[in-house]
Amino acid sequence: MSDTGGVLRGAEKPRTHALHLGWATWFTAELILATAGLVVEWLAFQRAIEMILLSTPGGWGSFFSALGTLVFMLCYARVQLYSITLVHRYFTHRSFETYWWVRAIIIALFHSTLEGLVILWRGWHLQHHAVPDTALDIHSPVLYGWWHAQIFWMWKKDFIQPPGYKYMGGSHRPWYNPLKVMEKYYWWIVAFMGFAFPTVICSLWGEWEAGLLFASFTRAVMVRNLTGLINSSAHMWGETVEGGGSARNTAWKFFIWLVVGEPNHATHHKHPNYYRFGEYDPAADLIENMAKLGIAYDLKGPSGLTYARTPV
Ligand SMILES: [Zn+2]
Ligand SMILES: [Zn+2]
């Protein structure tokens, strides 16, 4: 929480500005293409079922191809959700330490989610923690309602240059490597990890169209909206805790599983640098497993206490 970073250097401001405009436009395109993706996949399933019912040769083949695309999409979405929570817990709150190549993998996967630049995400998020439910908290559902917090905050004018600019910096910090170079090639990584990769994988079983539309666009919209639920629902529904502000903890274990531990949001607001958000927290389990493998260390406890190794 005390980690407020420095100030962005002037040279980085125009790039940041351009990304904001691109983000809202991209999201609109994503919504349209996601719908197209759902239609393509629905038609493929329908055709496969028809072929099976009519005992046409190849019927089961197209059924399994469509199923393969669906399974891949869900698995990739899950991996991406983990990358978002790792950006949240590592780059934003520094709740553990890790090596540069692990950070590179996290950033590459995070970029594929179209959540924007890590440094912007971090800036808005630290601002959200520092001054929650004020005009500076740009996705507060308490002030602006559920839909705004879920998605529409991205269209807000001050999204273009959030007032809490001071939270965005940190180029002097060691974690900036390899972030800086990877953010320079943001759109290339987006194109490769978010679109080319799913398309190529699904083309292995002959479904490149569904790979592009369904496993890329539909998946991106799904992942973004699951993440959006933390800004919206996790500040409106569930139990509050002392010191957690308007943030809530859910009693719904399925929701915690679905967004990989993030819905224990009140506990997270109370202890923002603690790597574990709740007793049941799939992402914290992942960090502990990374520690066991030796690729994560210095896991932070609830009071900022650092564990040299996994505390388990
Ligand atoms: Zn929050
Ligand atoms: Zn946080």
**Proximal ligand: closest to the CA of 93:** 2
- Angle at the Cα of 266 from the Cα atoms of 284 and 250, rounded to 5 degrees: 80
Average pLDDT over residues 125-135: 87
Residue 238 has pLDDT above 90, yes or no: yes
Q: Which domain holds residue 175?
A: 10-240
Nearest Cα residue to 269 out of 288, 236, 246 = 246
Residue 307 pLDDT grade (very low, low, confident, very high; cuts 50, 70, 90): low
Query: Per mean pLDDT, which range of 119-123, 149-153, 163-167 is the poorest?
Result: 163-167
DSSP labels, the chain: ---------GGGHHHHHHHHHHHHHHHHHHHHHHHHHHHHHHHHHHHHHHHHHTT-TTHHHHHHHHHHHHHHHHHHHHHHHHHHHHIIIIIIT--SEE-HHHHHHHHHHHHTTT---HHHHHHHHHHHHHSTTSTT-TT-HHHH-HHHHHTGGGGSGGGSS-S-GGGG--TTSTTHHHHHHHHHTHHHHIIIIIIIHHHHHHHTTT-HHHHHIIIIIIHHHHHHHHHHHHHTGGGTSSB--TT-TT--B-S-HHHHHHTTTTTBHHHHHHSTT-S--SSS-HHHHHHHHHHHHTSEE-EE-TTSPEESS---
What's the number of domains the chain is made of? 1
Residues, CB within 5 angstroms of ligand 1 (ion): 247
Does 136 reside within a domain?
yes
Residue 40 has pLDDT above 50, yes or no: yes
Average pLDDT over residues 238-243: 92
Does 3 reside within a domain?
no
Tokens 């005390």 — which residue?
Answer: 2
Residue 120 pLDDT grade (very low, low, confident, very high; cuts 50, 70, 90): confident
Cα(201) to ligand 1 centroid in Å equals: 35
Specify the pLDDT at position 195: 94
Does 107 reside within a domain?
yes
Cα(142) to ligand 2 centroid in Å equals: 17
Task: Pick the more confident residue, 226 or 24.
Answer: 226
pLDDT digits (tens, 9 = 90+) for 54-89: 776 666 777 788 888 999 999 999 999 999 999 999
**Proximal ligand: closest to the CA of 233:** 1
Cα(88) to ligand 2 centroid in Å equals: 6
Task: Pick the more confident residue, 221 or 75.
Answer: 75
The C-alpha torsion from 13 through 25 and 141 to 303, rounded to 10°, is: -50
Specify the pLDDT at position 275: 94
* CA-to-CA separations, 137 to 118, 134, 219, 239, 310, in angstroms, rounded: 18, 5, 27, 21, 33
Residue 157 has pLDDT above 70, yes or no: no
**55 Rama class: left (phi>0) / alpha (psi -120 to 50) / beta:** left
Average pLDDT over residues 154-178: 55
Residue 13 has pLDDT above 60, yes or no: no
**Proximal ligand: closest to the CA of 126:** 2
Cα(267) to ligand 2 centroid in Å equals: 10
Specify the pLDDT at position 107: 93
**Proximal ligand: closest to the CA of 248:** 1
Cα(231) to ligand 1 centroid in Å equals: 6
Cα(11) to ligand 2 centroid in Å equals: 27
Tokens 């399974």 — which residue?
Answer: 71
- Which residues, other chains included, contact 28 with Cβ-Cβ below 8 Å and sequence gap of 6+? none
Cα(278) to ligand 1 centroid in Å equals: 15
Query: Per mean pLDDT, which range of 111-115, 199-203, 227-231, 262-266 is the poorest?
Result: 111-115
Does 279 reside within a domain?
no
Average pLDDT over residues 163-190: 69
Cα(272) to ligand 2 centroid in Å equals: 6
Cα(276) to ligand 1 centroid in Å equals: 15
Task: Pick the more confident residue, 278 or 174.
Answer: 278
Average pLDDT over residues 90-104: 91
Cα(268) to ligand 2 centroid in Å equals: 6
| Residue 241 neighbours by CB distance under 10 Å | 18
Specify the pLDDT at position 10: 38
Residue 167 has pLDDT above 80, yes or no: no
Encode 147-186: b = buried (16+ Cβ within 10 Å), e = exposed.
ebbbbbbbeeeebeebebeebbbbbeeeebeebeebbeeb
Specify the pLDDT at position 25: 66
Does 270 reside within a domain?
no
Specify the pLDDT at position 213: 87
Strand-pair partners of 98:
296
Cα(220) to ligand 1 centroid in Å equals: 22
**Proximal ligand: closest to the CA of 277:** 2
Residue 30 has pLDDT above 80, yes or no: no
Specify the pLDDT at position 2: 37
Specify the pLDDT at position 12: 38
| Residue 294 neighbours by CB distance under 10 Å | 9
Query: Per mean pLDDT, which range of 173-187, 235-249, 254-268, 283-297 is the poorest?
Result: 173-187
Residue 258 has pLDDT above 90, yes or no: yes
Does 285 reside within a domain?
no
Residue 276 pLDDT grade (very low, low, confident, very high; cuts 50, 70, 90): very high
Residue 189 has pLDDT above 80, yes or no: yes
Specify the pLDDT at position 181: 84
Does 277 reside within a domain?
no
Cα(140) to ligand 2 centroid in Å equals: 14
Residue 280 exposed, middle or buried by CB count within 10 Å (0-12, 13-18, 19+)? middle
Does 38 reside within a domain?
yes
Residue 91 has pLDDT above 70, yes or no: yes
Token pair in block for residue 311: 């505390």
Token pair in block for residue 159: 């999204």
Specify the pLDDT at position 156: 64
